[in-house]
Amino acid sequence: MGERGFNGENGCRPLLWLKKELHEPQELRQQISSLKQKLMVRESHWSQAHSLLQSRVEALTRENQELHTRLNLNKRSFQSAGSSALQAGSYNTFEKRREEPQRTHIRSATPAFNKPSIHRTQQDNANRRSVPKANKLTECTDNSLIQKGKDPALSIDTPLNNAMITQGGKGSLFYHHTDCNDTQMASQAKKNNVREETCYPDGRVERLFWNGCRVITFRNGTKKEIGVDKSVTVTFFNGDVKRMLADGTVIYYHCDAQTTHSTYPSGLEVVQFPNNQREKHHPDGTREISFPDGTVKILHSDGRDESIFPDGTVVKISQHGEKVVEFANGQREIHTSQYKRRMYPDGTVKTLYTNGRQETKFSSGRVRIKNNEGIIIMDKK
C-alpha cells in the first residue's frame, strides 16, 4: 500500500508539469497576437501621418514654384518697364496740364541750399515762358527708376549715389508721369502732409512734409527722419533705433537686448537694461551701477569701490583692500588685514585682531583685553 501511494503521487506530478508546459505557450501566443494588433494600429497611424506630411510637402513645393514664377515675371516686367521708360524721353513727352497751387513734385537729389540749376530742354523752357503751366508729377514707382545691371547696396553710413536717371547723360531729371486729376492728387498730398517727394535710382524715397520734417526710406526697410529741430532718428530694419538730438546727445536702442545706450556731449554714457538696472560711465573712468533694489555701486578709476544699500549702509573699499562699513545707526567698522574694528556712537571701540585677541575701549576710559580663548587678561578702569 505504501508503494502504491508513493507511485500514485509520483504519477500525478508529470501530468501537472505537462499541463503547465502546455498552458504557457498558449499565453505567449495570445501576447504575440495582441502585440501584432497594436503594431498594426500604430502602423496605420504612422501611414496616415506620413501621407499627411507628404501632401503638405507637395503643397509647399507647388507654392514655392509659383512664387519663383511670379518673381521672375516681376523682374522681367520691371526690366521692360525701365527700358521702355528710358527710351520715351523726359520733358518733351509730358502733356501740359494745369496744376493747383499745392502740388506734389519731385526734388533733385542735391539739398535745396546747395542745388545746382537743372538743365532742361529748350522746348520745356519755351513752354514755361509762354504759358504758366506745370507738368503733373506723381510718385515715382520702382518700375520707372530701375537701371539694368545695377543694384547698389544700401547704407546710411556710406555716401549714396545722387545721380538721377537721365536722358543722354546730361543731368536732365527723369519723371514718371501718370494721367491723374490734378485736384485729386493735390488733395491726396495735402492729406498725407507730403510737400515734396524724390525717388532715387538706388531705391531711396525722400519725402518732405509741410511741417518741415524730412523722411528718407531705404529699400532695405531702414528709415531716417530729420526733424525741424535738426534731430535725426534712424529706424533700422532689425528694429534698432538711433536718435541724434540737436545738442549732440545720441540715444541708441538695441531691439534684441532691449537695452538703451545714451551718449551725452559731456562724455557721459548711460546704459539702461530691461531689468531696470542702470549704468553710468563717466569720462574720468568712474562707473556707477544702480540695481533694481535700490543698491548703488560706484567703481572709481583709481581702484576704490563704494556701495550704497537701500537701508543706508555704505561700504567703501580702498585700492589697498581696506574696508570701511558705515551703518545707518551711526556705527562704523574698519576691516584690515590685521584687525576688525567697530566704533559705536557713544565712543566705544571694539577691536578683534587676527590672533584672536579682543580689545574694548569704553567711552569712560575703561580698557578690557581678552586673549584668544576669551579670558580677560586685563581690565583697567
Contact 206, 216 (CB under 8 A): yes
Res 26 pLDDT > 70 = yes
Res 219 pLDDT > 60 = yes
Q: Which fold would CATH assign to domain 301-380?
A: lipopolysaccharide transport protein A fold (2.60.450)
Which range, 4-13, 87-96, 186-195, has the best average confidence (pLDDT)? 186-195
Res 1 pLDDT > 80 = no
Res 157 pLDDT > 60 = no
Where helices occur in the chain by DSSP H, the ranges are 2-87, 122-130, 182-191
CA Rg value for the chain: 44
Cell reading at 221: 526697410
Nearest to 215 by CA among 17, 366, 206, 27: 206
pLDDT-based confidence at 271, cuts 50/70/90? Answer: very high
Higher-pLDDT residue of 2 and 83 is 83
Q: Can you give the pLDDT at residue 73?
A: 83
Q: Can you give the pLDDT at residue 16?
A: 63
In the chain, DSSP finds a helix count (H) and a strand count (E) of 3, 21
Nearest to 177 by CA among 208, 207, 126, 139: 139
Q: In whole angstroms, give the CA distance from residue 182 to residue 102.
A: 10
Higher-pLDDT residue of 13 and 346 is 346
Q: In whole angstroms, give the CA distance from residue 72 to residue 57.
A: 23
Q: In whole angstroms, give the CA distance from residue 285 to residue 301.
A: 5
* Average confidence (pLDDT) over 234-260: 95
Res 90 pLDDT > 90 = no
Nearest to 220 by CA among 195, 238, 241, 247: 238
From 88-102, 203-217, 261-275, 364-378, the region with the lowest mean pLDDT: 88-102
pLDDT-based confidence at 322, cuts 50/70/90? Answer: very high
Q: In whole angstroms, give the CA distance from residue 133 to residue 261.
A: 52
> How does the average pLDDT of the chain come out, rounded?
74
pLDDT-based confidence at 15, cuts 50/70/90? Answer: low
Residue 186 CA, chain-centre distance (Å), reads 38
Q: Can you give the pLDDT at residue 192?
A: 60
Contact 137, 97 (CB under 8 A): no
Q: Can you give the pLDDT at residue 94?
A: 40
Res 112 pLDDT > 80 = no
* Average confidence (pLDDT) over 84-96: 44
pLDDT (tens digit per residue) in 174-187: 333 334 445 555 54
pTM above 0.85, yes or no: no
Q: Can you give the pLDDT at residue 113?
A: 36
Where along the chain do its domains lie? Answer: 72-147+165-193, 301-380
pLDDT-based confidence at 375, cuts 50/70/90? Answer: confident
